[in-house]
């Protein structure tokens, strides 16, 4: 376990943001040299219980007053009210685990730098077309890659840190994978385009489009992660790109895809931006117009309150309005499905077997999901 893994674990334990700062940087920052701080140094409690300033509690891998040229790290927890027992346990964890591992691999340092830069641009809603030359990883990002965004949610997740995730994905692909942390449990993954498409083709798949192969790869990637760790995971993927160009815009699209997918398709965990065009349009409709449209469809409330009918409609649209295929998917007789569709027509006046009425019903279902959200 390296220092970045420790940071992630601390963040999940205390449920507060945790920063990892090199002591050299920390010493260069303006900080209060209070009497309490000086006493902590003299009594050696700086390492045993940490040190609290105005808004944070600090834990050190070594005494910052004595640190030499080696890389030493400080963990900054944005909380000043940690219980004494918790402070002692955290200090013990930091000192014990980092006694032999106090440096980060060069690649991890580079991906951390890229992650911080991306997070800053996303937070300030900036979309530079090209990565700055100051980013050490830029030289590796001119080849065509496929970006995946992995988001882990919930307090019960067990997703590992950089080292564990990087090792799992590299072993799975038998090739190196770039793993870039963005914020909390949010990771940007880069896989070489040929690794995805050639691996799929080598498995003897029938001729499929690139997007179909990317989707299949994404589903396999999600299953791998979900089988290794517990928690709620969502994964989005978009078309291949050279990450050195247009990366911020691509990450914003990936985030939007996860959001729209979770809003409209709660049972799915892999979200594809090219399948969310209608959902993106529907979400942009003002709330007042959404409600007015729903109110104009008579009897829609009856349909939406009947779980069996709602499942029938969603499956019917999923199967491209094919009656026979929908009946097979629902494991019901064809006549039973026709009876349900006739019942929907009686309640709403919409016969979803007709294209125009099917479009109106699909829109109504999507608008209802947004309105409830």
**pLDDT above 90 coverage of the chain, percent:** 38
2 backbone φψ class: left, alpha, beta (φ>0; ψ -120 to 50): beta
Q: CA 230 to CA 3: how far, in whole Å?
A: 23
Say whether both 196 and 212 belong to one domain.
yes
Distance of CA 30 to the CA centre of its chain: 34
- The domain total for the chain is 3
Say whether both 238 and 295 belong to one domain.
no
Instruction: Using pLDDT thresholds of 50, 70 and 90, give the confidence band for residue 149.
Output: very high
Say whether both 225 and 161 belong to one domain.
yes
pLDDT in tens, 77-103: 888 888 888 888 888 888 776 554 444
Round the average pLDDT of the chain to a whole number and report it.
Answer: 82
Say whether both 152 and 265 belong to one domain.
yes
Total-model pTM: 0.67
What CATH number has the domain bearing residue 241? 3.30.70
Backbone angles phi, psi at 151, to 5 degrees: -125, 125
Say whether both 146 and 125 belong to one domain.
yes
- Count the neighbouring beta carbons within 10 Å of the beta carbon of residue 373: 9
Q: CA 5 to CA 13: how far, in whole Å?
A: 12
The first and second tokens of residue 211, run together, are: 């997007």
Say whether both 255 and 342 belong to one domain.
no
Q: Which of 245, 278, 311 is the last residue of a domain?
A: 278
Q: What is the DSSP string of 17-41?
A: -EEEEEHHHHHHS-----HHHHHHH
| Cβ neighbours of residue 244 closer than 8 Å, sequence gap 6 or more | 130, 131, 138, 141, 142
Q: Which of 34-43, 102-111, 319-328 has the highest mean pLDDT?
A: 319-328
Nearest residue to 242 (alpha-carbon basis) of 130, 166, 121? 130
Say whether both 297 and 271 belong to one domain.
no
Q: Where are the alpha helices (DSSP H) in the chain?
A: 3-14, 23-28, 35-43, 45-49, 84-97, 106-123, 162-173, 193-202, 210-228, 247-264, 277-283, 287-296, 300-305, 307-318, 323-330, 334-348, 355-372
State the DSSP code for 54.
S
More confident residue, 330 or 184: 330
Task: Look at 34-43, 46-55, 84-93 and tell me which has the smallest mean pLDDT.
Answer: 34-43
Q: CA 151 to CA 147: how far, in whole Å?
A: 13
Nearest residue to 120 (alpha-carbon basis) of 106, 134, 108, 107? 134
What CATH number has the domain bearing residue 290? 1.10.10.2840
Q: CA 295 to CA 315: how far, in whole Å?
A: 24
Say whether both 11 and 146 belong to one domain.
no
| Averaged pLDDT for residues 144-158 | 85
The first and second tokens of residue 42, run together, are: 């003299």
The first and second tokens of residue 272, run together, are: 């594809």
Say whether both 139 and 218 belong to one domain.
yes
Q: Does 192 score more than 70 pLDDT? A: yes
Instruction: Using pLDDT thresholds of 50, 70 and 90, give the confidence band for residue 39.
Output: low
Quote the pLDDT of residue 303: 82
Say whether both 60 and 155 belong to one domain.
no
Say whether both 357 and 297 belong to one domain.
yes
**pLDDT above 70 coverage of the chain, percent:** 82
Say whether both 213 and 330 belong to one domain.
no
Q: Which of 241, 261, 278 is the last residue of a domain?
A: 278
Residue carrying structure tokens 């920052």:
29
Output the 3-class SS for 59-74. Answer: EECCCCCCCCCCCCEE
Q: Does 197 score more than 70 pLDDT? A: yes
HSE-up of 265 (CA within 13 Å, CB side)? 20
More confident residue, 240 or 17: 240
Q: CA 280 to CA 285: how far, in whole Å?
A: 9
Instruction: Using pLDDT thresholds of 50, 70 and 90, give the confidence band for residue 172.
Output: confident
Write out the residue range of the structural domain in which residue 360 sits.
285-372
pLDDT in tens, 287-340: 888 888 888 888 888 888 888 888 999 999 989 999 999 999 999 999 999 999
Quote the pLDDT of residue 102: 44
Range 298-304, long-range pairs (CB < 8 A, 24+ positions): 298/347, 298/348, 298/349, 299/347, 299/348, 299/349, 300/348, 300/364, 300/368, 302/347, 303/344, 303/347, 303/348, 304/365, 304/368
More confident residue, 334 or 75: 334
Q: Which of 97, 129, 148 is the last residue of a domain?
A: 97
């Amino acid at each position: 376990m390296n220092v970045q893994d420790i940071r992630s674990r601390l963040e999940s334990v205390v449920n507060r943001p945790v920063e990892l700062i090199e002591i050299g940087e920390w010493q260069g920052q303006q900080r209060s040299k209070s009497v309490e701080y000086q006493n902590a140094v003299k009594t050696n409690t700086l390492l045993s219980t940490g040190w609290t300033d105005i808004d944070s509690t600090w834990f050190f891998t070594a005494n910052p007053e004595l640190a030499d040229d080696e890389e030493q790290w400080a963990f900054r927890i944005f909380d000043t009210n940690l219980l004494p027992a918790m402070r002692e346990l955290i200090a013990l964890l930091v000192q014990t685990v980092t006694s032999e591992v106090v440096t980060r691999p060069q690649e991890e340092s580079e991906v951390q730098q890229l992650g911080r830069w991306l997070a800053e641009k996303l937070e300030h809603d900036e979309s530079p077309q090209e990565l700055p030359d100051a980013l050490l990883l830029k030289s590796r990002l001119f080849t065509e890659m496929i970006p995946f965004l992995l988001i882990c949610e919930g307090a019960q997740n067990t997703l590992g840190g950089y080292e564990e995730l990087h090792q799992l994905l590299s072993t799975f692909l038998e090739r190196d994978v770039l793993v870039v942390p963005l914020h909390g449990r949010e990771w940007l993954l880069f896989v070489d385009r040929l690794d995805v498409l050639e691996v799929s083709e080598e498995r003897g798949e029938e001729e499929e489009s690139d997007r179909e192969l990317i989707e299949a790869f994404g589903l396999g990637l999600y299953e791998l992660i979900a089988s290794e760790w517990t928690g709620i995971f969502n994964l989005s993927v978009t078309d291949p790109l050279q990450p050195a160009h247009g990366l911020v815009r691509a990450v914003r699209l990936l985030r939007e895809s996860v959001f729209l997918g979770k809003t409209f398709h709660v049972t799915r965990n892999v979200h594809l931006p090219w399948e969310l065009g209608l959902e993106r349009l529907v979400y942009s409709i003002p709330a007042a117009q959404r409600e007015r449209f729903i109110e104009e469809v008579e009897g829609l409330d009856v349909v939406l309150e009947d779980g069996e009918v709602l499942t029938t409609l969603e499956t019917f649209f999923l199967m491209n309005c094919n009656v026979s295929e929908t009946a097979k998917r629902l494991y019901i007789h064809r006549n039973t499905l026709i009876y349900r569709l006739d019942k929907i027509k009686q309640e709403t006046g919409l016969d979803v077997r007709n294209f125009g009425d099917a479009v109106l019903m699909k829109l109504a279902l999507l608008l209802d999901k947004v309105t409830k959200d």
